[in-house]
Amino acid sequence: MHQPKECHLHVAYRVLQYLKSTPGKGVLFKRSGKVEVEMFTDADYAGSTIDRRSTSSHLTFVGGNLVTWRSKKQNVVARSSAEAELRALAQGICELLWVKNLFDELQIPLFSPMKICCDNKLAINLVHNPVQYDCTKHVEIDRHFIKEKLEANVICISYIPTNNQLADMLTKGISGTQLQKIIPKLEMDDIHSPA
């Protein structure tokens, strides 16, 4: 905004071109029999070229419907990809706790733990491993917070391969073919497409 360049104008044109080509696209909420909460979390390690901070993102699905999504730069520089992912998990759990409180207020019971999908095996192992390592002291608070929610059976964390990670599109630039594979998984439909 303060120093616009021609490359910024080209990006704006690309956004307008995308919006023009997809006027009927939207998120369609479908009724399902179960109320299950599932979240995909991701982080790009040191993704910002200016200050090397990572970006956390998450997508929340309730009953298979996309209800919340967020992408935010982390407050501090992560010293490892596992640290960036742990911070993304902790932020995602805070969002899930908000969703759980909303369900409690609406008096809708959740019968199973809320599922979090993460593509970093080291971050998942750090959460499940009770042994405290010196190299993980800087992420100790996030690790204990996540472990506490796991032990209380509020959440469960599962590994998902990177090519199936839906939250990638909020942290990294992805190709058009990847985007075309992700859009149906987000339950985005085009009302103008032939039935």
Looking at per-residue confidence, does 190 or 151 come out higher? Answer: 151
What's the domain range around 49?
28-190
| pLDDT tens by residue, 46-61 | 888 889 999 999 999 9
Instruction: Check: pTM over 0.75? Answer yes or no.
Output: yes
CATH number of 75's domain: 3.30.420.10
Could you tell me if residue 186 is inside a domain?
Answer: yes
Domain-located, residue 19: no
Do you know the residue count of the chain? 195
Contacts 24+ apart (CB under 8 A), 170-173: 170/42, 170/55, 170/57, 170/58, 170/59, 170/69, 170/70, 170/71, 171/42, 171/43, 171/44, 171/47, 171/55, 171/56, 171/57, 171/71, 172/44, 172/47
Asked whether residue 177 is domain-assigned, the answer is yes
In a domain? residue 12: no
Say if 163 falls within a structural domain: yes
- Position 141 in a domain: yes
171 located within any domain: yes
**CA atoms within a 13 Å half-sphere pointing along the CA-CB vector of 78:** 24
Classify residue 10: in a domain, yes or no: no
Domain count, the chain: 1
Kindly report, residue by residue over 131-189, the tens digit of the pLDDT.
655 556 667 788 888 989 999 999 999 999 988 888 888 888 888 888 888 877 887 77
